[in-house]
């Protein structure tokens, strides 16, 4: 199997939940994958960033970085609000049998919070080129979209990848598409706080899946819990506490 790179990015202070998730990523990385924790200081050691990089928002920076590093090195991208539950080998296998994988939010919409790809695939090269143009504002976005026959999309990476997927481009035919509700994205982003934080501990039974090497969370959840310490997060009486505990136990047992 090829080198198993995992990349993630965070800019600025970390909320307690983001710090907890990063700690779990590190614990799971031992004998599992090569974890690259990117930030605004070290990212230039991996890729060339556009001249206007420092003026971009953290979200725009992240949208640029994820495409650039996966195109250049290959591997798996994890948003910082991702909870690793165990070995990521099943996901890396998609990079062996296919060009990579993407996930479908609500089993329908292609999103970019978690994905994996081999380096320099035809699709990643095209996607990287689009993001370079969008980020650097070299060409009006609507004009470039029209040239590709994709219609208009917003500047953020989610809309770009969603538009590419919806276009049915053959460049994505060699990628596996995971139905998120059935595995790694079991709760829609609009329901994250209620399902993970508000409902009682036993609600984990409605979220847990047979195949679930990781769980995609979201900014609404870590913002909702930003006043709790990491110790307090682990002692909560909700589904998130169950998954944090289960993740840590799995990491320490390896």
pLDDT digits (tens, 9 = 90+) for 196-241: 999 999 999 999 999 999 999 999 999 999 999 999 999 999 999 9
- Per-residue pLDDT at 137 exceeds 90: no
Q: Find all residues with CB under 8 Å of 102, minimum gap 6, and list them.
A: 110, 111, 112, 115, 161, 165, 172, 175, 176, 177, 178
Q: What is the overall mean pLDDT for the chain?
A: 91
Cβ atoms of 177 and 112 within 8 Å: the answer is no
Between CA 202 and CA 128 the distance in angstroms is 42
What six digits make up the tokens of 74? Answer: 């290959």
Sign of CA dihedral 114, 115, 116, 119: negative
Backbone torsion region of residue 209, taken as left when φ is above 0, otherwise alpha when ψ lies between -120 and 50, otherwise beta: beta
Spell out the domains of the chain, with CATH numbers in brackets: 5-180 (3.90.550)
What value does the mean pLDDT take over residues 10-38? Answer: 96
- Per-residue pLDDT at 254 exceeds 90: no
Helix (H, G, I), strand (E, B) or coil at 224: helix
Between CA 168 and CA 131 the distance in angstroms is 19
pLDDT greater at residue 127 or residue 26: 26
pLDDT of residue 91: 98
Strand intervals (E) in the chain: 5-9, 34-38, 75-78, 82-84, 100-105, 109-117, 175-179, 214-216
E strand or H helix at 48: none
Between CA 196 and CA 221 the distance in angstroms is 8
- Per-residue pLDDT at 26 exceeds 90: yes
């Amino acid at each position: 199997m090829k080198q198993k790179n995992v990349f993630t990015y965070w800019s600025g202070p970390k909320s307690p939940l983001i710090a907890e998730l990063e700690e779990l990523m590190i614990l799971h990385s031992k004998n599992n994958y090569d974890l690259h924790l990117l930030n605004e200081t070290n990212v230039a050691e991996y890729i060339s960033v556009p001249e206007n990089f420092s003026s971009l928002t953290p979200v725009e920076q992240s949208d640029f970085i994820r495409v650039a590093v996966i195109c250049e090195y290959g591997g798996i991208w994890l948003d910082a609000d991702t909870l690793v539950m165990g070995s990521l080998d099943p996901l890396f296998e998609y990079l062996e049998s296919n060009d990579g994988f993407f996930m479908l939010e609500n089993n329908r919409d292609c999103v970019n919070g978690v994905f994996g790809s081999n380096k320099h695939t035809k699709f990643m090269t095209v996607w990287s080129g689009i993001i370079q143009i969008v980020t650097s504002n070299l060409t009006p976005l609507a004009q470039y979209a029209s040239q590709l026959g994709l219609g208009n999309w917003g500047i953020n990476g989610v809309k770009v990848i969603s538009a590419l997927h919806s276009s049915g481009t053959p460049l994505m035919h060699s990628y596996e598409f995971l139905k998120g509700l059935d595995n790694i994205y079991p709760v829609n982003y609009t329901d994250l706080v209620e399902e993970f934080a508000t409902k009682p501990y036993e609600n984990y039974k409605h979220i847990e899946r047979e195949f679930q090497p990781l769980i995609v969370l979201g900014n609404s959840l870590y913002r909702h819990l930003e006043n709790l310490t990491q110790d307090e997060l682990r002692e909560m009486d909700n589904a998130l506490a169950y998954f944090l505990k289960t993740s840590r136990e799995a990491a320490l047992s390896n």
